[in-house]
Each structure stands twice: as C-alpha cells, then as structure tokens.
C-alpha cells in the first residue's frame, strides 16, 4: 500500500484498479494523510485561505433529491437577501480580513443577468482587491459570460457525481449530467477559476462512482474541488439514507491533494457537521481552504441543505474567530489574501 501512495505522489496518477484499492483499503490512513500534507506544504506551505460565504437566497427551482432547499420542500422558509444586505455582509467580512466573497444560492428566478451583474459590479466597485465567486447553479453560456464581464472571478458548480446512471438517481429527470458538464466547460472557456466537486457517500455511490469522479476531474482540471459527506435532510426523499463517513471523506481529500497538488480544497461545513473536528482533520489530510459563513444569522438558519448543519446561530465574527482557532490548533495559519490558485 505504501507503494501505491508513493506512486500516486510521484506520478500523480494510478490505474482504476489501484485507485479502487486505495479507496477501499482497510488500514488506517496516517500514511496517506502525511503524503497529502507534504504535497500541500510544497505548494501552499501552511497557508489556509478564507472564503466568506454569503448564502443569499434559498429559493430554488430545482428538486435535487438530497437537498433541503429543493422546491418540493414546502416546509422550507424561503428568503432572499437584498443587494444592500449582501453588500453589508461583504463590508463586514472585509473588515474581518476576507478578500474573497462567495455568493451562493439556489437557482432562484430573481437571479436575472441584470440582477447578478449589478450585484457583482457593486461588490467589485466597493472592494476592487477582492475576488467574487458565484455559486448559483446551471445557467446559459451567455449568462456566465455576462457575469464574467461584470467582474466575477470564480464559479463553483459541483458536478455531484460523474456517473450518468448515478446522476439520474440523485436528480429529477429535468436535470442532466450532460448539462452540468456543459456548464463547467463553458465556465472554464470563458476564463473563470472553476470549482467542481461531489458528495461523498451519497446514496448508491460505490468506489466505481468515486473513480469516475476522479477521472472527470482529471479531464476538467478545475482550480477548486469541493467535497463533503452526504448528510440526509429530513424533508427530502433521502431522509432515511445513510450519511457519508468521516473516514471516506478524509481519504478522498488526500487522494485529491495527491492527484491535483495545486488545487484549492476546502474543509467544508458538511465535514464539520459529521464530526466536531472534521474540518481540522480535513486540513491535516490536504485541505487548504475554509469557508466561514457571513450570511446574516436570521437568514442563515433557513439555508439548511442537510440536517444539523453547524454555525447556524453564530455571528459572522464569531465564526471567523472560531475558524482561526481551529486552523491554528492543527498547525496552519489563515492568510488574508484573495487566495488564487498556485498552478
């Protein structure tokens, strides 16, 4: 097994069989984490980048079976932040040292090109030294182009699973993996720094699906990869499904760091939700990004994608401080900069 890790580290690749062996191995992963951490230190030292997350709308026209803000969840209390509220959150974040803002939301019909472009333009005008990341789902190429011209720098759109058959079991028939991929390649061509990613332990996922995810990422060559465990939400069709595990999520983080040494890899909120030290362990396994929540707390509690999501009541400043301590506790430090990819 040590040989496999060494091959992965030096060749930055393995065969499907070897990846499967690594994904399914029974030993503890100290050696894998250490290899991933060494590669992370070569490229990023002990730096951890911050992204201020602003969950600006939980209105969504999609109906993904796993997601708590799917349109069929009549229990969800819907909200939309105004542009003023969003700018205010950025202001607050800027004072705390954030130099990247992630505007994330459901596929909300309010997100017209005009609305999104004016929002991006206002943030970039107020904070020209900051990066703006959008995470607002599948849109037309023309819309992506318009946001980019308005000043958006990056785009996050997890592919969720790179297997067609698996994708169809997680989404209603109106959605397709083909369109998801089309979006990701359009975003790259337009010139965004692009993030893709997947859930670990989603229903019916096997090592075969995970290998397909890694192969798709090799084809896409994204700048960022967001992964976290699947966690059931009680008002969805997957309410009774098993969550993904901490162990497998950490293992996948390490494999991703070894396959993509330069990549920006967040220790996600979902990872912090399945274990109280999930994000710290994520950092030690190769992650180099944290995403404290800047959403005003009264809205934040309604952005519940899955059950027991952490940081639902904490003020932005508290979250920021809490994360600072967590990052330090495992020997890394937060840097106040845009945190662009180091290819």
Q: Measured from the CB of residue 191, what is the shortest distance to ligand 5AD in angstroms?
A: 22
β-strand pairing of 47-50 with 193-200: unpaired
Tokens 């952005």: give the residue.
303
Q: Does 71 bind ligand 5AD (CB under 6 A)?
A: no
Which member of 71, 88, 158, 318 binds ligand 5AD (CB under 6 A)? Answer: 158
End-to-end CA distance of the chain: 28
Q: Measured from the CB of residue 290, what is the shortest distance to ligand FES in angstroms?
A: 8
Q: Which is closer to ligand 5AD, CB of 261 or CB of 282?
A: 282
DSSP per-residue codes, 235-277: TSTTTTSPPPPHHHHHHHHHHHHHH-TT-B-B--HHHHHHSTT
Is 172 exposed, middle or buried, given 0-12, 13-18 or 19+ CB atoms closer than 10 A? middle
Q: Measured from the CB of residue 175, what is the shortest distance to ligand FES in angstroms?
A: 31
CA 94 → CA 123, 185, 207, 266, 319, distances in Å? 11, 31, 41, 20, 14
β-strand pairing of 154-156 with 193-200: parallel
Which member of 81, 150, 305, 334 binds ligand 5AD (CB under 6 A)? Answer: 305
Q: Does 79 bind ligand 5AD (CB under 6 A)?
A: no
Q: Which is closer to ligand FES, CB of 231 or CB of 259?
A: 231
Q: Measured from the CB of residue 89, what is the shortest distance to ligand 5AD in angstroms?
A: 18
Q: Does 233 bind ligand 5AD (CB under 6 A)?
A: yes
Q: Does 199 bind ligand 5AD (CB under 6 A)?
A: yes
Find which of ligand FES, ligand 5AD, none residue 305 binds, CB within 5 to 8 Å per kind.
ligand 5AD
Sign of CA dihedral 283, 201, 198, 63: negative
Q: Which is closer to ligand FES, CB of 249 or CB of 323?
A: 323
CA dist 240 and 279 (Å) reads 25
CA dist 174 and 107 (Å) reads 14
Q: Measured from the CB of residue 28, what is the shortest distance to ligand FES in angstroms?
A: 27
Find which of ligand FES, ligand 5AD, none residue 318 binds, CB within 5 to 8 Å per kind.
ligand FES
Q: Which residues bind ligand FES (CB under 6 A)?
A: 292, 311, 314, 318-319, 322-323
Q: Measured from the CB of residue 199, what is the shortest distance to ligand 5AD in angstroms?
A: 5
Which member of 29, 37, 160, 186 binds ligand 5AD (CB under 6 A)? Answer: 160
Q: Measured from the CB of residue 331, what is the shortest distance to ligand 5AD in angstroms?
A: 28
Q: Does 67 bind ligand 5AD (CB under 6 A)?
A: yes
Q: Which helix (H) or strand (E) holds 18?
A: helix 16-23
CA dist 77 and 111 (Å) reads 18
Give the distance from CA 173 to its chain's centroid. 24
The count of other CB atoms within 10 Å of the CB of residue 225 is: 29
Q: Does 228 bind ligand 5AD (CB under 6 A)?
A: yes
Strands (E), 59-146: 100-105, 131-135
Do residues 156 and 134 lie in contact, with contact meaning Cβ atoms separated by under 8 Å? yes
Residues that bind ligand 5AD (CB under 6 A): 66-67, 158, 160, 199, 228, 230-231, 233, 270, 305-306
């Amino acid at each position: 097994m040590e040989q496999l890790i060494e091959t992965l580290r030096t060749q930055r690749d393995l065969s499907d069989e070897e990846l499967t062996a690594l994904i399914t191995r029974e030993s503890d992963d100290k050696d894998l984490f250490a290899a991933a951490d060494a590669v992370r230190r070569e490229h990023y030292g002990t730096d951890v980048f911050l992204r201020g997350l602003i969950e600006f709308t939980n209105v969504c026209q999609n109906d993904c079976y796993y997601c708590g803000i799917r349109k069929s969840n009549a229990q969800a209390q819907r909200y939309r932040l105004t542009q003023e509220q969003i700018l205010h959150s950025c202001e607050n974040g800027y004072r705390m040292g954030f130099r990247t803002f992630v505007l994330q939301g459901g596929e909300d019909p309010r997100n017209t090109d005009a609305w999104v472009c004016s929002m991006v333009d206002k943030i970039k005008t107020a904070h020209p030294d900051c990066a703006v990341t959008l995470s607002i789902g599948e849109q037309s190429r023309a819309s992506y182009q318009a946001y980019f011209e308005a000043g958006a720098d990056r785009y996050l759109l997890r592919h969720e699973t790179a297997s067609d058959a698996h994708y169809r079991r997680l989404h209603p028939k109106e959605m397709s993996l083909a369109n998801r991929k089309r979006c990701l390649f359009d975003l790259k061509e337009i010139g965004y720094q692009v993030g893709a990613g997947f859930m670990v332990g989603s229903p019916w996922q096997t090592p075969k699906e995970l290998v397909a995810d890694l192969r798709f990422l090799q084809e896409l060559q994204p700048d960022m990869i967001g992964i976290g465990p699947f966690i059931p939400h009680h008002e969805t069709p997957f309410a009774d499904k098993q969550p993904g595990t901490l162990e497998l999520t950490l293992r996948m983080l390490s494999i991703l760091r070894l396959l993509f040494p330069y990549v920006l890899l967040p220790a996600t909120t979902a990872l912090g939700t399945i274990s109280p030290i999930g994000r710290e362990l994520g950092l030690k396994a190769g992650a180099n990004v944290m995403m404290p929540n800047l959403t005003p707390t009264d809205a934040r509690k309604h952005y519940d994608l899955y059950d027991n999501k952490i940081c639902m009541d904490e003020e932005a400043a508290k979250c920021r401080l809490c994360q600072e301590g967590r990052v330090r506790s495992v020997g890394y430090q937060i840097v106040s900069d845009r945190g662009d990819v180091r290819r």
